[in-house]
Structure 1
Amino acid sequence: MIEIVELSDKTITLDRNEFLKVKGGIDTNLYFVESGSLRIFVLDDYEEQTIRFGYKNNLIVSLDSFLTEKPSDLFIQAIKKTVLKVITKQQVNDFLKCEKNSNLWTTILENLVIQQMEREIDILTNSPKQRYQRVLERSPQLFQEIPHRHIANYLRMSAETLSRLKKS
């Protein structure tokens, strides 16, 4: 992953609650989080549904827009002041001309897909307690970086339920 981050020649800073991307926008950049944290969410009948987080040393991307170069329904918002390295799609494409780099990119995409599938299965089949335990196992850093109300939304439970689970 470091090879991809090194492609960046631009850094941006977002203030708390500032949007990196809003619904309907096209974003063909990949971002590396140097500090801070962000959330990716969609609006579902005026209710936000968090689907992913990014925090220090993570890549974050509006993957649908990045791949198709079309508008996306996703919002990306800084949870706290965040510094991002920007990697353009052109920089990624140039990087992928080397087969070794192409294999790295495939691994990154495969990991994203697997993480998303695991999360979908958790949401559809597991109890709130099981979802909490699985996220805690997969991403313990999440609980240091992200406010509990956003984690609760991500896990599809109330903040009260998450608080109760943490205590037990």
Structure 2
Amino acid sequence: MSQLLRQQIEKITPLTDGEFDYILSHFTPKKYKKHQFLIQEGEDVPNDFFVLDGCLKAYHVSQDGKEHILQFALPDWWICDFNAYFNQTKATLNIDCIEDTEVLCLSLYNREKLCSEMHKIEHFFRRKSNSGYIALQQRILSMLNNNPQERYEKLLQLYPALFQKVPKKLIASYLGVSRETLSRFSS
């Protein structure tokens, strides 16, 4: 399973076996059950998570009790409450498992250590961060400029695997529409 991490890193920068073994030694594997939390609002966020298997969601619950999904994560994706992780503050997001999940956990200390020791890893994380910023910007612009059906079609085009793993109720929450509205698009 750790080969998934190596493949992702090597899309950006090549690694020797020794380099990858050293990088991997800074991660901790962990398994979670369906509905189990990796992060809960108000808690510390000691780790960033690389998904090896399973499916997760990151969300915020508003004061009126409505769940607002910010992100899903499938194998080969990263997920975290990045504000809390990088600023070492309490979580403002919840992250839990949509299905049984296996992740590699990377503490901020180990991330910083790897980045200071290995230019390749610093370069990798910079490129991954840039890609994340771009994706977030595109999502915000889509929410501002596209109607719900256009957002649905774009999500389906970009991430068809989500529709195999994620219940429609959660897809609707992510798109900011009702379950009934989503049903009209997908029928």
TM-score calculated relative to the size of structure 1: 0.91
Per-residue deviation, residues 90-119 of structure 1 (Å, max 9, x unmatched): 221111112232121111111111111111
CA drift of 1:145 comes to: 2.0
CA drift of 1:126 comes to: 1.0
SS at structure 1 position matched to 2:110:
helix
**Distance across 1 between alignment mates of 2:101 and 2:107:** 18
What one-letter code is carried by the residue in structure 2 that aligns with 1:66? Y
Aligned length: 167
Which 5+ residue runs of structure 1 have no aligned equivalent?
A: none
Taking only the aligned residue pairs, the percentage that are identical comes to 24
**Distance across 2 between alignment mates of 1:21 and 1:112:** 20
SS at structure 2 position matched to 1:116:
helix
Which 5+ residue runs of structure 2 have no aligned equivalent?
A: 10-19
What is residue 109 of structure 1 aligned with on the other side?
Answer: 129
**Distance across 1 between alignment mates of 2:26 and 2:76:** 14
Written as runs of structure 1 = structure 2, the 5 A alignment for 1:10-159 is 10-44=28-62, 45-97=64-116, 98-159=118-179
The structure that is strand-richer by fraction is 1
CA drift of 1:28 comes to: 2.8
Per-residue deviation, residues 28-67 of structure 1 (Å, max 9, x unmatched): 3111111111100001121110010111121111111111
* RMSD, aligned CA: 1.7
Contact persistence 1:23–1:71 (CA under 8 A) = yes
